[in-house]
Amino acid sequence: MEAYLADWLHLLVRWLHLISGIAWIGSSFYFVWLDDHLERPKRAGDVDRGVAGELWSVHGGGFYHAQKYQVAPPAMPETLHWFKWEAYTTWLSGMFLLALVYWYGASIYLIDPAVAALSTQAAIAISVGTLCAGWIVYDLLCRSPLVASDRGLAAVLILLGAALAWALCKTFGGRGAYLHFGAVLGTIMVANVFFVIIPGQRTLVAAAERGETPSRGPGLRAKQRSRHNTYFTLPVLFTMTSNHFAMTYAHPYNWVILIALSLAGALVRAYFVARHKGQASPLPIAVAALILLAVVAAIAPRTGSATSGRASLAEVGAILRERCTVCHANSPSFPGIQAPPGGVLLETDEQILNQAERIHQQAVVLRVMPIGNLTRMTDDERALLELWYRSGLKEETE
């Protein structure tokens, strides 16, 4: 019953994380789009009232008229809507999932002895330290003279992001490394909201309520951080889904793939931001496409030649029952595993034959199963699986 309730908790928190993430990213994308589509007010009276831009739109059977003030309206409205809890809820639910899956299950999902022999305590400490250090370094850069040059700051952030990807992939298992890369960016994004964007908005509101002309500084800083957040979004979304695609995180050069795909995501977002302004050059999207095609080609599985000899289903079954069925069984016996991952069962010969393609892909081509090689499958055993798949599978199924 405890494992059953834990699964429900995991499901509901993951669902909450997804819902709040959609709300946060959706509102963020909308306001970036809105800000870039504002037109000069048509009525002279609006300009006199400090309106900097306006936009008419239609949605859901109604017309909307949005106006943005240069600094603040002459009088504050009775009701002012804030956008912050979408970000906070996304981060809090994400941190809960990080603790539940990658800290509580560190020996399974975070630590890979083949990468670095870490204790659970050390792995968790590095995880927490990386999240904190990521924000501190980023915030210091944004407060340095470098912030005066958007291109200079972007170049430094790309270099530091690449270094972070490399360091994480040399510290944690690929799955955990990718997730932590996204968690660092996500933490920076929500810290931007909490420490810069919302305080800047509060400063503007307080000055307007006192009848003073607010300084534009806090608003400009908030807008800059909001722009940074929009470029981080697609790389974060990739890392959130990457655990389903072992071809990326399990590759020997997983850090290069992570850097490449993150850069491609940022370029795609840059293209759409420029497109909002009517200044879209096809170069960012073309470079992103070339990066993606290069990664696809570079990590494509190489078809091996026919292997001499053969292995029997009985030999393969013995390996899988020793190394794999502790998890891939109706009632898994491995600590921390309550249900067979992916619903894959490997207890009978028929089940093994039905999963032959997946066994070969996960255990031989990608070498991500057993996860973290917790059951110590040997290279000789993987070679036997390869031999069976290449030369013996056909005979077994006839």
Instruction: Show pLDDT as tens, one digit a residue, over the chain (398 residues).
Output: 667 788 889 899 999 999 999 999 999 999 999 999 999 999 988 998 899 999 999 999 999 999 999 888 888 898 999 999 999 999 999 999 999 999 998 988 999 998 999 999 999 999 999 999 999 999 999 999 998 899 999 999 999 999 999 999 999 999 999 999 999 999 999 999 999 999 999 998 998 888 887 777 887 888 899 999 999 999 999 999 998 898 999 999 999 999 999 999 999 999 999 888 877 789 999 999 999 999 999 998 775 554 566 788 899 989 998 999 999 999 888 877 878 888 899 999 999 999 998 999 889 888 888 887 888 899 889 989 988 888 755 455 54
Considering the domain architecture, whether residues 17 and 109 belong to the same structural domain is answered as: yes
Contacts 24+ apart (CB under 8 A), 79-84: 80/205, 82/198, 82/201, 83/27, 83/31, 84/193, 84/194, 84/198
Structural domain contains residue 291: no
**R_g of the chain computed on alpha carbons:** 26
Tally of domains within the chain: 2
Question: In this structure, is residue 372 part of a structural domain?
Answer: yes
| DSSP bridge pairs for 57 | 64
90 inside domain: yes
Residues 6+ apart with CB under 8 A from 351: 345
Please say which residue of 242, 262, 282 terminates a domain: 262
Q: Could you say which of 262, 287, 302 is where a domain stops? A: 262
Q: Is the same domain home to 122 and 208?
A: yes
Query: CB within 8 A of 282, min separation 6: which ones?
Result: 271
- Domain interval for residue 163: 2-37+85-262
Asked if 322 and 251 sit in the same domain, the reply is: no
CA 354 vs. chain centroid, Å, equals 32
**Residue 206, in any domain of the structure:** yes
**Same domain? 131 vs 201:** yes
The verdict on 238 and 352 lying in the same domain is no
CA angle 230, 235, 239 (to 5 degrees): 135
Residue 305 neighbours by CB distance under 10 Å:
6
Question: How far, rounded to the nearest angstrom, does the alpha carbon of residue 5 sit from its chain's CA centroid?
Answer: 27
- The reply to whether 336 falls in a domain is yes
Q: Is residue 106 part of a domain?
A: yes
Q: Are residues 15 and 158 in the same domain?
A: yes
Cis status of the peptide bond prior to 370, with omega within 30 of 0: yes
**Contacts with 249 (C-beta within 8 Å, 6 or more apart), sequence order:** 174, 175, 177, 178, 242, 243, 257, 258, 368
Q: Is residue 304 part of a domain?
A: no
CB 102 within 8 A of CB 179: yes
Q: Which CA distances in Å does 99 have to 112, 123, 185, 365?
A: 17, 12, 17, 30
Residue 385: how many CA atoms within 13 Å on its side-chain side?
Answer: 29
Residue 255 sits in the same domain as residue 326: no
Would residue 229 count as lying in a domain? yes
140 and 258 housed in the same domain: yes
185 and 244: one domain? yes
Residue 48 burial (10 A CB sphere; 0-12, 13-18, 19+): exposed
Angle between helical axes of 283-298 and 254-276 (0-180°, round to 10): 160
**Same domain, yes or no, for 26 and 165?**
yes
Q: Determine the angle formed by the axes of helices 217-241 and 174-191, rounding to 10 degrees.
A: 160
**Report field, pTM of the whole predicted structure over 0.75:** yes
Q: Which of 247, 262, 277 is the last residue of a domain?
A: 262
Clarify whether residues 248 and 327 are in a common domain.
Answer: no
**Does residue 172 sit in the same domain as residue 29?**
yes
